Amino acid sequence: MSQYWSPAVRELTPYVPGEQPREQVIKLNTNENPYPPAPGVSEALRNYATDHLRLYPDPTSYALRATLAESYGVSVAETFVGNGSDEVLAFAFQAFFRHDAPLDVPSITYSFYPVYANLYGITLRKHPLNDQWEVDIDSLANASERSGVIFANPNAPTGHAHSLETIEALLKRVTDRVVLVDEAYVDFGAESAVALIGRYPNLLVTGTFSKSRSLAGLRLGYAIGSPELIDGLQRVKDSFNSYPVDSLASLVGIEALKDKEHFKACRNNVITTRERTRLRLEQLGFEVLPSKANFVLAQHPSFEGAQLFAGLRERGILVRHFNTDVLNNFLRITIGTDDEMDSLIEALESLI
Ligand SMILES: *Cc1c(COP(=O)(O)O)cnc(C)c1O
């Protein structure tokens, strides 16, 4: 607390990201991709004329958005890019969810949503997951007088994904406010709701280059939605920072989008390793929730989450442990390379 802080800042509860360790560890705690970005990225960086840095970047990020639009089969007017999807989400909260009515959200989901809600004075109405640890779509759709609906699909940190059909059923019922589907993990095996954009003007899909395109350090995220929603996001962006995406990030993002082979190969590797890891964890007695993401959420009937987390840490392996009542016993484990997962299993074998 400082006397210099505004009342609003005193009230904030900031997001706490997973640790970025300084020493060498096997890092399975923040859902980064274990494989390098597309080879074209290094080449683009090598060829980049430093003189470009004198100039401000294109405030509309047109070239990047055009490539994004082409990749997703939408028009440029249906795309938006920002400094990580976290920023895109912050803009979306500001643009669409600041009404008096509460925002409908699953009780367990990406923990940044409550932080934005708090920042913007938005009330949340939390919907418990069903007994399968799935987002309860029916409950979300049933609520009334809302400022909007937001959930991640696949959800974090459970990894469960709903089908496109289920998401469309929700959109048929919620037409008055924005439905935001956060697809940070969609590339690891789930169906994207981008296919529904043309039919539902209140649907906004967000995504990131951080996970499936191995560019967490670059900070690049996007939204796809009807032109009126994109205009709403642009109004917020241009009232905050006209240039959230720098010229290097644009260039790198374009290269990453263009290399579909590399993208697919990395994604398939992660999926294969995920299923292999799941089996091995189950052999050790873990309950592993089925995942369509690049992580698994697992708990052991005889060992506490905190205890396993600490044991792994001592052995140089970092996973994520959430200190909340419901998730306290779980570990969220990012899928790394096969070698990294072998080390994880070995370490767990010594702990159990
Ligand atoms: C990682 C993550 C994000 C943020 O991604 P960035 O683009 O790196 O900001 C957003 N939503 C969910 C659910 C995530 O897991």
CA of 156 to the centre of ligand 1 (A): 10
CA of 315 to the centre of ligand 1 (A): 27
CA of 86 to the centre of ligand 1 (A): 6
pLDDT band at 19 (very low <50, low <70, confident <90, very high): confident
Question: How much is the pLDDT for 249?
Answer: 96
**Mean of pLDDT values over 25-38:** 96
Segment 146-157, tens digit of pLDDT: 999 999 999 999
Check pocket membership of 86 for ligand 1, CB cut-off 6 A: yes
Orientation angle between helical segments 247-258 and 62-72, nearest 10 degrees: 20
Helix (H, G, I), strand (E, B) or coil at 50: helix
**Mean of pLDDT values over 47-72:** 95
Test site for ligand 1: of 93, 210, 220, most ligand atoms within 8 A of the Cβ: 210
Q: Tell whether the model's pLDDT for residue 224 goes beyond 80.
A: yes
Check pocket membership of 84 for ligand 1, CB cut-off 6 A: yes
Question: How much is the pLDDT for 81?
Answer: 98
Angle at the Cα of 58 (from 54 to 62), degrees rounded to 5? 150
pLDDT band at 35 (very low <50, low <70, confident <90, very high): very high
Q: Which atom of ligand 1 is nearest to the CA of 31?
A: 1
Q: Tell whether the model's pLDDT for residue 22 goes beyond 80.
A: no
Q: Tell whether the model's pLDDT for residue 23 goes beyond 80.
A: no
Q: Which atom of ligand 1 is nearest to the CA of 109?
A: 13
pLDDT band at 312 (very low <50, low <70, confident <90, very high): very high
Within 10 angstroms of residue 13's Cβ, the number of other Cβ atoms is 9
Angle at the Cα of 300 (from 294 to 304), degrees rounded to 5? 105
Residue 280: in which H helix or E strand, if any?
helix 260-283
Question: How much is the pLDDT for 254?
Answer: 98
- What mean pLDDT value characterizes the chain? 96
Q: Tell whether the model's pLDDT for residue 24 goes beyond 90.
A: no
Check pocket membership of 33 for ligand 1, CB cut-off 6 A: no
Pairing of strands 221-225, 287-288: unpaired
CA of 168 to the centre of ligand 1 (A): 23
Top-confidence residue, 256 or 13: 256
Segment 61-104, tens digit of pLDDT: 999 999 999 999 999 999 999 999 999 999 999 999 999 999 99
Tokens of 9: 């800042």
User: By CB neighbour count within 10 A (0-12 exposed, 13-18 middle, 19+ buried), where does 259 fall?
Assistant: middle
Tokens of 332: 């969220």
Segment 153-180, tens digit of pLDDT: 999 999 999 999 999 999 999 999 999 9
For 84, what's the count of Cα atoms within 13 Å in the CB-facing half-sphere?
9
Check pocket membership of 182 for ligand 1, CB cut-off 6 A: yes
Segment 180-222, tens digit of pLDDT: 999 999 999 999 999 999 999 999 999 999 999 999 999 999 9
CA of 266 to the centre of ligand 1 (A): 18
Check pocket membership of 32 for ligand 1, CB cut-off 6 A: no
Check pocket membership of 15 for ligand 1, CB cut-off 6 A: no
pTM listed for this prediction: 0.96
**Mean of pLDDT values over 102-112:** 97
Check pocket membership of 81 for ligand 1, CB cut-off 6 A: no
The CATH architecture of the domain made up of 39-258 is: 3-Layer(aba) Sandwich (3.40)
Check pocket membership of 212 for ligand 1, CB cut-off 6 A: no
Segment 253-309, tens digit of pLDDT: 999 999 999 999 999 999 999 999 999 999 999 999 999 999 999 999 999 999 999
- Bridge partners of 103, per DSSP, are 124, 148
pLDDT band at 33 (very low <50, low <70, confident <90, very high): very high
Q: Which atom of ligand 1 is nearest to the CA of 89?
A: 10
Question: How much is the pLDDT for 144?
Answer: 85
Question: How much is the pLDDT for 51?
Answer: 87
Test site for ligand 1: of 15, 85, 109, 292, most ligand atoms within 8 A of the Cβ: 85
Question: How much is the pLDDT for 55?
Answer: 95
Q: Tell whether the model's pLDDT for residue 252 goes beyond 90.
A: yes
Test site for ligand 1: of 93, 153, 183, 208, most ligand atoms within 8 A of the Cβ: 208
Domain boundary assignment for the chain: 16-36+261-351, 39-258
Question: What CATH code is assigned to 16-36+261-351?
Answer: 3.90.1150.10
